Structure 1
């Protein structure tokens, strides 16, 4: 990729490199310290004790209390034998050698775990019958547990009482117990005929702990609407880098609009539209706001929680009205041996789908059938038809692919101006991390690198990201823990610069398949110039570049002064830098079909800019958790939060570069004055918050949340807001009257919540009138001077938008949580949205200021269902989620009921009371005008509906007359553009997606794994328009392959779908393309988002190569899409822009 940097840039790069080296060195030191702490721990553990006739079991507990080791042993160990020893400051190895070896017990130390085994096991060599009972941690029997002899397919399933019997079991074999939601256990037979076992819940079961505001909760105890996912489950080995793409289809109610452009980022939405003023969910990484999500390395993320309703999000108050996304990063674990993980991903991408243009002969024949005499660039249709016929019969006679007749060029070779824009692209991702810990310290250091080429021709679009992360946490004392987390992310995005033009977006869709794609001579000077096609423009334009750096330092101190009480102080400092460089270099291109030359730019501007953001956060809060008696469980959080954001922006643009190959701010001829822009803003937020939880015997739950906020974005007297919520739940499965169903129903919890949230997503100084800088209306010394305009009118009393949410839900788990799921229904009212107030007369010279004058209502529901089970040695999962919502305006200052109708003056009136968000107004078609509709002079019969301002002909689209008044009797018109008089239009569809769903599944058999993700929308309407929908949408248009033979002509009336086309366009052509039900697109779709196949090397090989885990995988992203849209239109991006692409990847995951 091309990069142009001056001397200052080189020094800046050197300084940044030195900074990165220092940071990396510091992080490595932290990691090494943690590693040495782990390795030297056994040497620093020394014991002092004197015991007499103590049971072996009690002795082992005593050692656990004096050290941080934990003992693990089976029933073959005699824990009743007596121990009598005395030690003083002795190494733990010496203690264990003297006590255990003398007792006939051998041991093995693995990290902080000590595995005990008998040195003289009485193991039989034959086969025996083994039986036993399997229970869960509460003592309840577990039916349906799979019991297998390890390494074989021999096995059975426990009965309704948790009992099992297995015959012909090797006396020296191992039994494997597995059950969905429980941790898989292995137990050595050791010649025993009775093996009972208690299985514990796995982290993926209902006891999963999820992140909530300023803390965690067990998922089973939640009273609000919260979805939680583990990154390893939703990301896996997928070749994606955007967080929104990862979560799409995995979390009900979550939608993402993603750009396929490398480094383009995502926009998120939770539970549909919440405000007409826009907004996005609050995203926090480890309790701190983080906005540059495209810079985050997904490999550093442990889990994600999505807070959807007011009860779960109220603790974030003013910023949580659009939902909250909590990201928890990986941090290493206590009592974990030093481990090194490495993974890579190599991918190749190709364009998913492109529109297919009609072949040149089909295109010209279509125009001839449409009674065209020539095309807009002068070529005669009859001559064109003859030349194309001759070209098909004798292509060698036209080696250039074009010829000249009567002084006009005729282009005969079929080209693909869309396909030529793209080429396969490559992407590679590498991640390496070192992590581990001892009893008192845990650490993780990671380095990630992504290099992604775009799919445009040449290498001028791409994205590179480097991520460095370092975390260390340690216990200073038994009551004091500190941690430090440093993250540095940098992204370098490059893309071809188009100087205000739309060639990349529009040219591919309206140029015919015979448009030349190479070079053509220009008659005036005889030189050859590249033809104006998107591919040729991309090849010649300069590269624009955006470099973003984000550094975050996060410290946390945790104090435990009393049992159950934790006081936490967090401080975070973030600094973000974004540098942009753009240059519109000068070159000339041949227009192609027309004989003219077009320059790429008139002033070839060069601009550079820098944006700097400094963001600090202070969190101080306390958590308290206590159980009173046996059944009363109380917990709470109270705290303080303060945030400050400082933003600075500077941009400079120079024009008329002297050296086209080496632009700079100083390298201008001075004919055009340079431009400068700057911006400075800051805002602050202070808030106090609380949460109080109580549950009785895990059956009855109640939770209170609240936050009091002060925001600098509002006038002084209107800055304060209090946002409370309350929620409750009832777990019927714990009731005594449900005991008989405990083995079938493991969870049946009803939830309800109500709360208020705020929205401060507005400009920083909207309540302060400021003088705008405008161009004067006079010339001084040959220049137009700048001056200050008039003060705008503002209101000094506007304040928060408030969002009131009512949510009801049910969580369920059946068959020991093999089947689990939830259902939520909600209603959300947004009160006091900023909108227009009373209208001012034109003589006022100003528009009315915005105020809290609009309300919105949203209704919705979501459903998720999951199944996890085993079939023999096959462990599999299936998941499904479904979501729907609708939003309505309930108050808006638009008394006349005007609705937006492609009229700039009416944009402020595109909302009205009673309007459903996304509604599409259009006409209802009524076939075509036929010959019987006209009199002998070609005029419409009096009883046939006409179109206002249009002279209709046979073959034109006819519309139904839906409304008549004195001014428009039997005539199609737009009425007053009001809801009471919309003319002959009505609501024909809605552009908001409905019934959004996701399906996922996985299967594991031995060392093989298979997973898949499907995602889609069940109902959505879209108005696309343009050439992709209408053949020859203008006189400069084209025809697509699937439109051939479907256009009305006098000879093609029965098979016609499209109205007739006109050589010179005009009102008749435009009338055939009006928004109507016939040409409304069905944008529902199903997409096979990902399929991944993996294989893990068996333990026998891993032991030989001294690795803990090796997994190889193959993955496909965006594999197939099933929809009803025109070819080349992607359902996730309904405009022709940067297309989605299909990706195939492979890689390896290693664990040392």
Structure 2
């Protein structure tokens, strides 16, 4: 038996007048012809209706009743029409039954309604595995006869999620079906409302919860990686709990480019605190027409996150979901560094090449052998493997994640509560992250006109991180650069050579456990094991409470009012303890010190808005107007004291210190008041137009410049709904979009427009012992500061074929930022205490985005899915106002300018000399002349040859130029998935093509100077005589210009990475239901399984240093991303 109804193409409401001219057509053909020109849907049991009966129908502009009377004249078929539903029955027949051969069979009755409580007409109700079935009537009621007592009944209705319910001993079963938005018409969340996807006129990407439900995600941001065109997520650190750089459609400003996140109506700066298992959907608003409703905070894009909520059921009994995964992590790649013997050879070779005397310890074979013999008696002749000593073994670098959720409710009250725990031990010792979270979402239909909702999320986080940005103590750099001769510890060493005795054991205090570490002898680097162990005493932890309470009042059938207030309360604390220790003359701490930093943030936002929604014949109008007010207060207090009583980190009280007290504080507050509105109009579901407007008033600007005005407009044409396209069965959707809008940016410090004054201290000349106080200016403000503005133009095409199984989206965007808020360098002679903010620049981003998806099926059991996206953008600075270029320097490489931002070029391009190979002979150096003079008179054979670009015979700033571009030609993501008889597999690939990386770590460990340890291949691949190589310079302790920033340190950063591979198996339901489990799935997964790249560094996935686009793609030897293997399970009760 098949219970069937047709679903017509969606058309606008009409007068429902029908014209037919059919000769000897089947009943099926008549139904389809009626549905093609009206909104009527037919519901019937095809065991009761002869669909193949031939009829003649010739009717002109008649009603549906006249048509049906003509078709069914002389038959037993009757019909009833409710709104647009036509239900057909055979008055002489009952629903198909099986003979009653078992006394355990019974009659089952009930009603089926939608989530709005309205009866659903024509729902298929079937006893699973039998031909027993029925269909709901006009009131949503159904009757089933001869139902076995333990039967499972399936309720299915097009546009709704199918439900399967075990009858048990029930004789009455009422059911509420939830809409299947994928089948009916996907609903996409936008600012202060939602739209059906077919009505969208802006550029919005959506990632649904079921797309990520089977992925072992560690953070909410991971859910977006590679899954939304135009969204690029790169990580500058694999440190536990670290967040990547999220960029939407490139880099629009030289300041903060982070998007705005809105989680259930609460604006946020990041979503690292959010449990990924709580996500229902993520929408990315990419163009100005979609973003403008958020005004001042939307210049870098908006990411809307909706969390899961409870659904109506038959009782308040909870549906229980549990999932967990446990895994281990290891290092994907490292350098094969020189051992002790190789290091001594490297050091000698460097000093000999420079003409310097060899280091006495390595000068003779006898001393070198004494060192190797000493090492052999204390661990091995190869010496210390600092990387091995500083990293955890895979079985020690454990990650684990547990999640538990309860959800349920009935029509009037629905709830979902969830709890999550995550613990991640880093691959480097002394680094870890822990998160404990809880969320409660409650929805209540208080009356027919009042709905209330409440969301509360509490998150506790704790982390221990290692240094990654300091040029001396950065852990990865220090670990690789430390010499292999120095032992890790100095307790229990035997037979130390006399010439090393003092350098190893000097200052050793056997009773002080922090004195057991050696001071690194030959590399001017800290003992990284000691550094890591001391860092483990420092811990950051915080608790955040994020809540939102809202009420929605239905004033009229077409008019609603919604009010919500959201709170974000954050309390962070960072504790640090530095024990007293003495490793050598350069690395020591005389007095134990303790510090604490406490930071509090209080933020609230109060939104109120009216929504009007009405349809008139073929016209649909939605209008919304509202107001928003928000305020943020942030304060931080820091205190430090030395001279603690002991070295026990668990017994420290800051005030117990006796020396060098220090304290500081910071306080800032800002407010934002806003008015906004939106109008959407649609005609016949074919032509749509949307207009948004928002006024923002920010306290970050002076009077006269506080208010910004941000409009947008967009239009769409559903050409697939046109009469000349509508009958193309292979075309499911075709839509053209165009959008234009303006949005603002206010990402500057609070009070940047003000001049501020404070006090300080100084020593009077000639009297260094008397402190004098003074008052002076501490900040130069700019009262003329105004909003940074981004204008964006977008054109899009949305296509779907073969009932949506093949999908494609194409977008072109032109994003122009003007009045850019920048801190342009000013001459030091002005004596400013700071670099003031000003509106001084403009930036252009233009690009394309393509998204493709296909869902296929082979046979009845095998389904597969292919989804991919490609994004590209071209970034260019158009102006910088004052005319001064902005160099990137001061991070790691001292005063070297290694990036530059200037008009006509991309933001933060790599800056330095161009090379032309390696000088092979002195004659070549002598002949390298321009303008009658030697270009590089101090060079030696084996040195890099720099290009004299302006041909003036000398190398200077005029010859420095672009050596690389950190912005990619395009990025892509590809997800492959398949299911077969309970098995599932998913593979996600991510990549970047055409971007360059400035390998600053290479600058350090491949310097060739012998200052630090180096990879083993430096002894065989570097220049060692004429003709040996034209790529790598000579090993030489006298660096000359080889360490000037040049394209030698720039590499192609293109890569493709298998980001995630998951294989799972779901046990058959007939097995699990015997133990009261609805669903049980086991899986294994791997993350960062392999990477294909030509980049020589540890990891080609490089983001920005300190979240600044001025330092995009600069690899300082960051904490590498680990490779993770895990297994887990998920179950539903």
DSSP 3-state at the match of 1:1128 = coil
Deviation, structure 1 residue 1099: 1.4
CA–CA distance in structure 2, aligned partners of residues 330 and 1037 of structure 1: 53
After superposition, give the CA deviation of every residue in 1:577-603 in whole Å (9 maximum; x if it has no partner): 0111111112233xxxxxx45544344
After superposition, give the CA deviation of every residue in 1:439-467 in whole Å (9 maximum; x if it has no partner): 2221111111112222223xx42222111
The residue aligned with 1:737 is 724
Deviation, structure 1 residue 990: 0.4
Question: Are 1:757 and 2:740 matched, yes or no?
Answer: no
The residue aligned with 2:136 is none
Question: Are 1:344 and 2:324 matched, yes or no?
Answer: yes
Deviation, structure 1 residue 336: 6.2
1:221-300 map, 5 Å: 221-234=199-212, 236-238=214-216, 240-258=217-235, 259-291=237-269, 293-300=271-278
The residue aligned with 1:26 is none
Selected match of 2:916 from 926, 929, 939? 926
Selected match of 2:1065 from 1076, 1095, 1111? 1095
Deviation, structure 1 residue 539: 2.9
The residue aligned with 1:508 is 479
Structure 2 alignment gaps of length 5 or more = 1-75, 96-102, 133-150, 166-176, 511-515, 520-526, 1104-1114
CA–CA distance in structure 1, aligned partners of residues 567 and 1015 of structure 2: 55
Question: Are 1:778 and 2:760 matched, yes or no?
Answer: no
The residue aligned with 1:878 is 866
Q: Is the 8 A contact 1:106 1:116 kept in 2?
A: no
Question: Are 1:558 and 2:540 matched, yes or no?
Answer: no
Question: Are 1:862 and 2:849 matched, yes or no?
Answer: yes
1:958-977 map, 5 Å: 958-965=945-952, 969=953, 971=954, 973-974=955-956, 977=957
CA–CA distance in structure 1, aligned partners of residues 756 and 299 of structure 2: 29
Question: Are 1:1042 and 2:1029 matched, yes or no?
Answer: no
After superposition, give the CA deviation of every residue in 1:1108-1151 in whole Å (9 maximum; x if it has no partner): 11111111111111111115244335331222101111111111
Deviation, structure 1 residue 493: 1.6
Selected match of 2:421 from 441, 446, 449? 449
Aligned residues: 966
Q: Is the 8 A contact 2:983 2:1066 kept in 1?
A: yes
Question: Are 1:575 and 2:547 matched, yes or no?
Answer: no
Selected match of 2:409 from 432, 437, 457? 437
Selected match of 2:603 from 594, 615, 618? 615
The residue aligned with 1:331 is 309
Deviation, structure 1 residue 927: 2.7
The residue aligned with 1:147 is none
Question: Are 1:661 and 2:648 matched, yes or no?
Answer: yes
Deviation, structure 1 residue 675: 1.2
Q: Is the 8 A contact 2:247 2:300 kept in 1?
A: yes
1:645-684 map, 5 Å: 645-662=632-649, 664-666=652-654, 668=656, 670-672=658-660, 674-684=661-671
CA–CA distance in structure 1, aligned partners of residues 613 and 193 of structure 2: 11
Question: Are 1:480 and 2:450 matched, yes or no?
Answer: yes
| CA pair 918-842 structure 1, distance change in 2 beyond 3 A | closer
After superposition, give the CA deviation of every residue in 1:360-415 in whole Å (9 maximum; x if it has no partner): 44444555666459997533355179739x97xxx89942358xxxxxxxxx3243
CA–CA distance in structure 2, aligned partners of residues 397 and 570 of structure 1: 69
Selected match of 1:379 from 326, 343, 361? 361
| CA pair 784-257 structure 1, distance change in 2 beyond 3 A | farther
Q: Is the 8 A contact 1:364 1:384 kept in 2?
A: no
Q: Is the 8 A contact 1:244 1:267 kept in 2?
A: no
DSSP 3-state at the match of 1:866 = strand
CA–CA distance in structure 1, aligned partners of residues 1089 and 1003 of structure 2: 23
Q: Is the 8 A contact 1:76 1:121 kept in 2?
A: no
- TM-score scaled by structure 1? 0.77
The residue aligned with 1:159 is none
The residue aligned with 2:593 is 605
- TM-score scaled by structure 2? 0.78
Q: Once superposed, what is the RMSD of the aligned Cα atoms?
A: 4.1
CA–CA distance in structure 2, aligned partners of residues 499 and 1029 of structure 1: 14
Selected match of 1:1065 from 1029, 1033, 1038? 1038
DSSP 3-state at the match of 1:507 = helix
Q: Is the 8 A contact 1:1045 1:1055 kept in 2?
A: no
Deviation, structure 1 residue 634: 1.2
Question: Are 1:628 and 2:616 matched, yes or no?
Answer: yes
1:578-597 map, 5 Å: 578-589=572-583, 596=584
Question: Are 1:637 and 2:624 matched, yes or no?
Answer: yes
DSSP 3-state at the match of 1:1061 = coil
| CA pair 1045-1035 structure 1, distance change in 2 beyond 3 A | closer
| CA pair 397-932 structure 1, distance change in 2 beyond 3 A | closer
The residue aligned with 2:901 is 911
DSSP 3-state at the match of 2:647 = coil
Q: Is the 8 A contact 1:1129 1:1135 kept in 2?
A: no
Q: Is the 8 A contact 2:898 2:910 kept in 1?
A: no
The residue aligned with 2:691 is 704
After superposition, give the CA deviation of every residue in 1:1008-1030 in whole Å (9 maximum; x if it has no partner): 01001100101111221454676
Q: Is the 8 A contact 1:813 1:819 kept in 2?
A: yes
DSSP 3-state at the match of 2:999 = coil
DSSP 3-state at the match of 1:1103 = helix
CA–CA distance in structure 2, aligned partners of residues 309 and 214 of structure 1: 16
CA–CA distance in structure 1, aligned partners of residues 620 and 534 of structure 2: 69
Deviation, structure 1 residue 712: 1.0
Deviation, structure 1 residue 787: 3.5
Deviation, structure 1 residue 318: 0.9
1:815-834 map, 5 Å: 815-834=802-821
Deviation, structure 1 residue 612: 1.3
Q: Is the 8 A contact 1:757 1:802 kept in 2?
A: yes
CA–CA distance in structure 1, aligned partners of residues 311 and 91 of structure 2: 29
Q: Is the 8 A contact 2:259 2:269 kept in 1?
A: no
The residue aligned with 2:967 is 992
After superposition, give the CA deviation of every residue in 1:44-100 in whole Å (9 maximum; x if it has no partner): xxxxxxxxxxxx9999999xx9xxxxx9x999998989xxxxxxxxxxxxxxxxxxx
Deviation, structure 1 residue 853: 2.3
DSSP 3-state at the match of 1:622 = strand
CA–CA distance in structure 2, aligned partners of residues 120 and 953 of structure 1: 86
After superposition, give the CA deviation of every residue in 1:155-207 in whole Å (9 maximum; x if it has no partner): xxxxxxxxxxxxxxxxx99999999x9978999xxxxxxxxxxx999533582
CA–CA distance in structure 1, aligned partners of residues 850 and 726 of structure 2: 27
Q: Is the 8 A contact 2:77 2:90 kept in 1?
A: no
DSSP 3-state at the match of 2:697 = strand
| CA pair 383-1129 structure 1, distance change in 2 beyond 3 A | farther
Q: Is the 8 A contact 1:840 1:846 kept in 2?
A: no
| CA pair 766-720 structure 1, distance change in 2 beyond 3 A | same
After superposition, give the CA deviation of every residue in 1:796-843 in whole Å (9 maximum; x if it has no partner): 121111111111111111122111021111111111112468967936
Q: Is the 8 A contact 1:355 1:1129 kept in 2?
A: no
DSSP 3-state at the match of 1:523 = helix
Q: Which moved more, 1:535-544 or 1:241-250?
A: 535-544
| CA pair 177-1088 structure 1, distance change in 2 beyond 3 A | farther
The residue aligned with 1:535 is 529
| CA pair 530-1010 structure 1, distance change in 2 beyond 3 A | same
After superposition, give the CA deviation of every residue in 1:134-175 in whole Å (9 maximum; x if it has no partner): xxxxxxxxxxxxxxxxxxxxxxxxxxxxxxxxxxxxxx9999
CA–CA distance in structure 2, aligned partners of residues 396 and 523 of structure 1: 11
Q: Is the 8 A contact 1:542 1:583 kept in 2?
A: no
Deviation, structure 1 residue 122: 11
Deviation, structure 1 residue 912: 3.0
Deviation, structure 1 residue 226: 0.4
Q: Is the 8 A contact 1:57 1:80 kept in 2?
A: no
The residue aligned with 2:289 is 311
